[in-house]
Amino acid sequence: MFPRYVLNPKSFKKVTGYSNCIVIGSGIAGLSTAINLSKQHKVKILTKSTLPESTTWYAQGGIAAAIKKPDFWKNHYEDTIEAGQGLCDSSAVKILVRKAPKMIEKLIEFGINFDISSGEISLTTEGGHSFPRILHAGGDATGEEIEKKLVENAKNSKNIEFYPNYFVTDILAYKNRVIGVMGLDTDKNLLEIHPCSYIILASGGIGQLYELTTNPEISTGDGIAMAYRAGASIMDIEFIQFHPTVFKTKDGSLFLISEALRGEGAYLRDCNGKRFMLNKHPRAELAPRDIVVKEMVRVMNESQCHYVYLDATHLPRSMLKIRFPNIISKLKENGLDLKKDLIKVSPAAHYMNGGVKTGHDGLTDIEGLYSCGEVAATGAHGANRLASNSLIEGLVYGWNIYKDINKKLKRETADKNNIKKNIEKVLAKPQTAVLKEKKIKDIDKIISELRTIMSENVGILRDKKGLLEARDFIENYVTNKDLYGRKTKKAKELINMLTVAKLIINAARIRKESRGTHQRNDYPQKDNKNWKKHIIQKNGKIFYKEVE
């Protein structure tokens, strides 16, 4: 069993002023929800890095919505269900695709300038989509454009208070009701408790658990870990999506090459120059990501190459310049020309399909705790997220959260004194977690070892032996006393990474089949008879939920 807190609550001497709502995270899900709530309520945004630093910023491809005939929400629904490999919550998907066009209107109201072609919003196709329905901005800078405008709108709100460079260590709850958060101001090295009535968890993903990832450095699974410690349910966490086309630069950093490039007609070729997705799926290179990645791994293993080629040499240079200016610029820095050269690419950890289990209103099973964006498991993605459904999901479910909290705040009066009294009760409670007494070695080294073992054993392809090896590694550290109580950011990140890794391994060991982004060499077939259900983890126990 995990210790309840990363840092003992008694270490937190300062209690700040009460606020109705606290948003943890500053990507599209967190910012849009905060902006909507701030129209009538005071909101705090606590974010681990600078305000714009989020996974949203790095989203190149675009945002999916059926806004133009002959496309229709039912087509978007069917594509999402197909990509989800039998594990989507059909009601959650309907909410997503039916509200998507309205959310696009909201983004335009926020000032987002989507690319225009022939007087209309330009649409493109990505993997798994049956119609062009991907809106983009700045060519391949959609996430950056959206993040900039949302930050601008948030800063213009008098009701939003910002806490950048702020590490939230844990959620405080009393009798299964949130009462605040515990956090570390990393600039001032100050521990604080923030009392509140509602928490919106929008802290992003877990990519840093792997050696190769498209995620920023802040993506260490903090939200999943703190929600689990507080008693929330975690669902579908074994399903980790790997993006097919990631380019390694001269300096060893990774650069995502948007799926939209394949949407415009680019090919995938093996290291001998042969296209390998033909006859593997009716949409070839535009098959859902799990299918493309699985085939890439097969081809790379057979040829003993650690890459495949992305080929856009047959596409018009004029189109490439307009649609992919960032990709062209990055490749040019590395001595490559997108129009002339084959580009070496390989898969990298990209997106967590599961997360903190929520209802359609974004509420978790802790009263007052909501979750949206990548950290949430709404049921809309199933076993494999459809390309460009992530940004729109954050908006749709963030909107649902805003509506639900707004409705509750209108009919209730916040009992600030009672919340503070409950915080005092939590602080007075002794911490009884039993931890191992073992001297810890260098934290940077453990993080590196963790990323290696997760990549090798809990990545794209898995089996019992590798999962057990990974489990044994995790068990050696996850309840180690020397890790807990440290104020350093890396120590707390490592605790969260180990916690999330353990949850992933638990679910991956249990699911004895291959489905979507969970592929097991020792159970290579999909097993609908036994495994068309969700795996849920809560308070150290495993539960199952049949697909609705």
Query: Which entry of 289, 323, 451, 520 is annotated as an active-site residue?
Result: 289
Task: Please name which of 177, 222, 129 lies closest in space to residue 367, comparing C-alpha atoms.
Answer: 177
What are the structural domain ranges in the chain? 9-239+353-423, 249-350, 434-546
Helix/strand/coil (H/E/C) assignment for every residue in 190-227: EEEEEEEEEEEECCCCCHHHCCCECCCCCCCCHHHHHH
Q: If you search the block for the tokens 């594509």, which residue do you land on?
A: 79
Band the pLDDT of 350: cuts 50, 70, 90. Answer: very high
User: Count H helices, E strands: the chain?
Assistant: 15, 25
Q: Which CATH architecture has domain 434-546?
A: Up-down Bundle (1.20)
Instruction: Give the span between the Cα atoms of 313 and 119, in whole angstroms.
Output: 28
Single-letter code of the amino acid located at 315? L
Angle at alpha carbon of residue 127, lines to 121 and 130, rounded to 5°? 65
pLDDT tens, position by position, 470-510: 999 999 888 777 788 787 889 899 999 999 999 999 999 99
Q: Which whole number is the average pLDDT over 77-85? A: 96
pLDDT at residue 430 greater than cutoff 90? no
Q: State the Cα–Cα distance between residues 300 and 276, nearest whole angstrom.
A: 11
Tokens of 72: 């229709």
Contact 236, 377 (CB under 8 A): yes
| Whole-number Å distance between alpha carbons of 244 and 107 | 28
**CB 120 within 8 Å of CB 68:** yes
Cβ neighbours of residue 298 under 8 Å, at least 6 residues apart?
A: none
Name the CATH topology of 249-350: Flavocytochrome C3; Chain A, domain 1 (3.90.700)
Can you tell me the mean pLDDT for 342-370?
A: 96
Q: What distance in Å separates the CA atoms of residue 6 and residue 20, rounded to the nearest whole number?
A: 25
CATH 3.40.50.150 given to domain 9-239+353-423? no
Express each pLDDT in 132-151 by its tens digit.
999 998 877 788 888 889 99
- Determine what percent of the chain is predicted with pLDDT higher than 90: 76
Alpha helices (H) along 308-463: 317-323, 325-333, 390-411, 416-428, 443-457
The tokens for 333 are 């820095």
pLDDT tens track for 515-543? 999 999 999 999 999 999 999 999 999 99
Residue 483 contacts residue 491 (beta carbons within 8 Å): yes
Please check the confidence at residue 434 and state whether its pLDDT lies above 70.
Answer: no
Pairing of strands 166-174, 177-185: antiparallel
| pLDDT band at 13; cut points 50, 70, 90 | confident
Question: Which pLDDT score is estimated for 299?
Answer: 94
Bridge partners (DSSP) of residue 268 are 310
Rounded Cα distance between 25 and 7, Å, is 20
344 Cα distance to chain centroid: 25
Average pLDDT over all residues of the chain: 92
269 a catalytic residue: no
Query: In the numeric block, which tokens belong to residue 213?
Result: 């990832």
* Segment among 61-70, 236-245, 280-289, 421-430 with least mean pLDDT: 421-430
Contacts of residue 316, defined as CB under 8 A and 6 or more positions apart, other chains included, come to none
Which CB contacts under 8 angstroms, 24+ apart, belong to 463-468? 463/520, 463/521, 463/522, 464/509, 464/522, 467/505, 467/508, 467/509, 468/509
- The CA radius of gyration of the chain, in Å to the nearest whole number, is 22
Q: Where are the alpha helices (DSSP H) in 264-389?
A: 289-303, 317-323, 325-333
Q: What is the pLDDT of residues 153-210, one digit of tens each?
A: 999 999 999 999 999 999 999 999 999 999 999 888 889 999 999 999 999 999 999 9
Question: Which helix (H) or strand (E) segment is 461 a member of?
Answer: strand 461-462
437 has a pLDDT exceeding 90: no
Q: Residue 59: which pLDDT band, with cuts at 50, 70 and 90? A: low
Tokens 């005092």 -> residue:
424
Percent of the chain with pLDDT over 70: 96
The first and second tokens of residue 247, run together, are 């380019």
* Confidence bin at 428 (pLDDT 50/70/90): confident
Q: Is the Cβ–Cβ distance between 359 and 95 less than 8 Å?
A: no
Query: What's the predicted TM-score (pTM) here?
Result: 0.94
